[in-house]
């Protein structure tokens, strides 16, 4: 990374979005997931100066204007400025910033455009530290600005990605094992077209249910399936069962990728979708129909909802060209960095 830029210096910071291949609603349970940073992302180009962070955006009508001593990031306007404000409040820069945001990511489409924005803003403001620290700071920023108790997966995938690699993340230790994505498959992301309006409260409910389960049986990472019988509420038991089975699927999926066995990997993605649909209840009719159509298409190994759910995107693992250009074909890519 270039030397830390000072006041008056031109800065260009880039952070990618992510797609999660398997392992959803496991990060805040100390579980496992296998996301990858993608070749779509957000760039911030500007100069460090003044006492305010002023960012205009290709995708937004109104700029974000955030004083460097902002205290209430959730109250910032326009809406997208909350994410900028959350990062400013966490980084506490001594100098402001004036610049422009441009992004190749679909906004709000489930590819972590907000995490990419946060990580790029933190780097532009002069954050120093390793990718795990960068991700933790941006996770706090996200929680402060959105009020959603989100996990660290999106920010960590954006901060720590590597070219050609998916990332097997252990959220108990934050250890990352890089898993090469085989060259003979394609990863395709398809937007369901359904916006994720209800995500905030439903996400918090799910997280609370997972925590209720852990309060009865202990950290879900280490629990034998039989122990789940001790959980009285059938809903909470199903949430916990999703986390346990999903953790196991993540490990099997990583092994299938390493063994160049896309058929098994695809089957595990379909099982993951079913678990997110039936046990975790974060799918929707539109997502189910999309997964159903994709998995019945020739050359598609598997497909599943990716990310929080309640709308947003589906990810498919396919033979090259199987979906004939539908959606975004994404490649595993390097993580966030300052550009020259
Ligand atoms: C959102 C959150 C992540 C993670 C996923 C579900 O993307 O930001 O932390 O919990 O949902 O896997």
Residue with CA closest to ligand 1 atom 8: 150
Mapped onto helix, strand or coil, the DSSP state of residue 148 is coil
Q: How far is the CA of 50 from the centre of ligand 1 (A)?
A: 35
What is the predicted pLDDT for the residue at 195?
76
**Of all atoms in ligand 1, which is nearest to the CA of residue 24?**
12
State the Cα–Cα distance between residues 92 and 110, nearest whole angstrom: 28
What is the predicted pLDDT for the residue at 109?
72
What is the predicted pLDDT for the residue at 48?
96
Does the C-beta of 246 come closer than 6 Å to ligand 1?
no
Q: How far is the CA of 272 from the centre of ligand 1 (A)?
A: 15
State the Cα–Cα distance between residues 122 and 101, nearest whole angstrom: 13
What is the predicted pLDDT for the residue at 337?
98
Q: How far is the CA of 24 from the centre of ligand 1 (A)?
A: 7
* 55 touches 99 (CB < 8 A): yes
Does the C-beta of 24 come closer than 6 Å to ligand 1?
yes
Beta strands in 235-335 (DSSP E): 300-305, 313-318, 328-330
* 199 touches 148 (CB < 8 A): yes
Block mean pLDDT (10 aa), the chain, length 340: 65 98 98 98 97 96 98 94 98 97 87 96 97 98 94 98 98 98 97 77 96 97 94 98 98 98 98 98 96 98 96 96 95 96
Return the closest-CA partner of residue 192 out of 68, 338, 293, 77: 293
pLDDT digits (tens, 9 = 90+) for 111-136: 999 999 999 999 999 999 999 999 99
Does the C-beta of 154 come closer than 6 Å to ligand 1?
yes
* 254 touches 34 (CB < 8 A): yes
Which residues have a catalytic role annotated? 154
What is the predicted pLDDT for the residue at 4?
58
- The strand pairing partners of 101, in sequence order, are 44, 57
Q: How far is the CA of 11 from the centre of ligand 1 (A)?
A: 29
Does the C-beta of 315 come closer than 6 Å to ligand 1?
no
246 secondary structure, DSSP code: H
For every residue of 149-214, DSSP letters joined together read: ---SHHHHHHHH--TTEEEEEETTTTEEEEEEPPTT-EEEEEE-S---TTHHHHHHHHHHHHHHHH
What is the predicted pLDDT for the residue at 1?
42
**β-strands 52-57, 32-33 pairing:** unpaired
Does the C-beta of 146 come closer than 6 Å to ligand 1?
no
Pocket test for ligand 1, best of 109, 114, 151 (most atoms within 8 A of CB): 151
Q: How far is the CA of 232 from the centre of ligand 1 (A)?
A: 26
What is the predicted pLDDT for the residue at 197?
62
**Of all atoms in ligand 1, which is nearest to the CA of residue 207?**
10
Please give the angle made by the CA atoms of 82, 169 and 210, to the nearest 5 degrees.
Answer: 70
């Amino acid at each position: 990374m270039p030397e830390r830029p000072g006041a008056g210096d031109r800065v260009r910071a880039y952070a990618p979005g992510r797609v999660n291949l398997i392992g959803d609603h496991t990060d805040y349970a100390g579980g496992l997931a296998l996301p990858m940073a993608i070749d779509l992302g957000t760039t911030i180009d500007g100069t460090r100066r003044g006492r305010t962070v002023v960012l205009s955006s290709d995708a937004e009508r109104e700029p974000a204007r955030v004083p460097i001593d902002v205290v209430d990031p959730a109250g910032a306007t326009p809406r997208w400025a909350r994410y900028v404000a959350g990062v400013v409040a966490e980084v506490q820069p001594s100098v402001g910033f004036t610049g422009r945001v441009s992004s190749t990511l679909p906004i709000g489409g489930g590819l972590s455009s907000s995490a990419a924005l946060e990580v790029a803003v933190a780097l532009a403001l002069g954050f120093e530290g390793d990718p795990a620290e960068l991700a933790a700071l941006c996770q706090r920023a996200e929680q402060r600005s959105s009020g959603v108790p989100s996990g660290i997966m999106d920010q960590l995938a954006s901060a720590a990605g590597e070219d050609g690699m998916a990332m097997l993340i252990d959220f108990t230790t934050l250890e990352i094992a890089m898993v090469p994505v085989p060259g003979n498959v394609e990863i395709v992301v398809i937007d369901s077209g359904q916006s994720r309006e209800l995500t905030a409260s439903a996400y918090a409910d799910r997280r609370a249910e997972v925590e209720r389960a852990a309060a009865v049986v202990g950290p879900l990472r280490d629990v034998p399936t039989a122990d789940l019988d001790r959980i009285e509420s059938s809903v909470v038991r199903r949430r916990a069962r999703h986390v346990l089975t999903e953790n196991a699927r993540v490990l099997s999926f990583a092994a299938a990728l390493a063994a160049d066995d896309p058929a098994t990997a695809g089957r595990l993605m379909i099982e993951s979708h079913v678990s997110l649909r039936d046990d975790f209840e974060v799918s929707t009719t539109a997502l189910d129909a999309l997964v159903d159509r994709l998995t019945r298409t020739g050359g598609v190994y598997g497909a599943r909802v990716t990310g929080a759910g309640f709308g947003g995107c589906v990810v498919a693992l396919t033979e090259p060209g199987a979906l004939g250009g539908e959606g975004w074909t994404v490649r595993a890519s390097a993580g966030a960095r300052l550009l020259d």
